Amino acid sequence: MSAPGVDLVRHPSGASELVLLAHGGQEHSDADPHVWRPALLRMWPFARVARSAAPSAAVGFLRYRARGWNGGAAADDLLAVLNDLPAAFSRVVLIGHSMGGRVVVAAGEHPRVAGVLGLAPWLPRGEPLMRLRPPVTFAHGTDDRLTDPATTLAYAERLRAAGTPVTTYLLANEGHTMLRRAADWNRVVADFVARTEIEPGGSHQLPPAERDSTAAAVTEIALARLRLPIRERLRVTS
């Protein structure tokens, strides 16, 4: 297995904040998480959105050692990265999809973390409750059959009961791949990164979209991947 790290697609001079995206995976897998996997490609438009919402921040992708959660090894990868980042990055905003959502929550107590966004996160019942610092946002499609929106809402309620404000969004008629309502997912990411969420800490159900955006979303993924190349690779050295 290769060492965990970060693939930066943007690194402005003097950047003190890093927006770090964590893609989905599998419960158990030691396979190579290569850069052309669909789960990672789906995150590429969010890197473009983050670049626009926070132009002074660096933007990058978490690079796991393997594709699987593997009993929490994926979260260990993120913790290792957070510990080993250049000192200039004093604030890290975490955005994770599916397994990546579980990863960013599990590592969310790290002192460098300045916000956690879970997109269709995999948060099984009984998941340990973390002391996350706001902003904390979870968004889930109501038609998701791979990860359960009910468990996401239940975890959010546990956080609220412990005193952590949590913003939640339910996207009607949306599945796990986040393709049918791509513009709404982009908006959730942009508002979170720019700290412009409507009613932070509230619960919101977004009405059904007028049309399915799957074809346009696939085109957006391809264009974002081509126009936003990896510019710098950071590796964990300790």
The 10s digit of each residue's pLDDT in 125-181 is: 999 999 999 999 999 999 999 999 999 999 999 999 999 999 999 999 999 999 999
SS (H, E, C) 164-187: CCCEEEEECCCCCCCCCCHHHHHH
Helix or strand holding residue 90 (H, E):
none
Domain CATH code at residue 88:
3.40.50.1820
Q: Are 65 and 214 in contact (CB under 8 A)?
A: no
The 10s digit of each residue's pLDDT in 43-86 is: 999 999 999 999 999 999 999 999 999 999 999 999 999 999 99
Domain that holds residue 167: 5-235
CA distance 153 to 136: 13
How much is the pLDDT for 200?
A: 81
Number of Cβ atoms within 10 Å of the Cβ of 35: 13
41, exposed or middle or buried, with CB in 10 Å at 0-12, 13-18, 19+?
middle
Helix or strand holding residue 42 (H, E):
none
The 10s digit of each residue's pLDDT in 179-197 is: 999 999 999 999 999 998 7
Number of domains in the chain: 1
Q: What is the pTM of this model?
A: 0.97
CA distance 166 to 160: 6
The closest of 69, 66, 95 to 193, measured between CA atoms, is 95
The closest of 25, 95, 99 to 66, measured between CA atoms, is 25
The CA–CA distances, whole Å, from 234 to 42, 81, 206 equal: 21, 9, 37
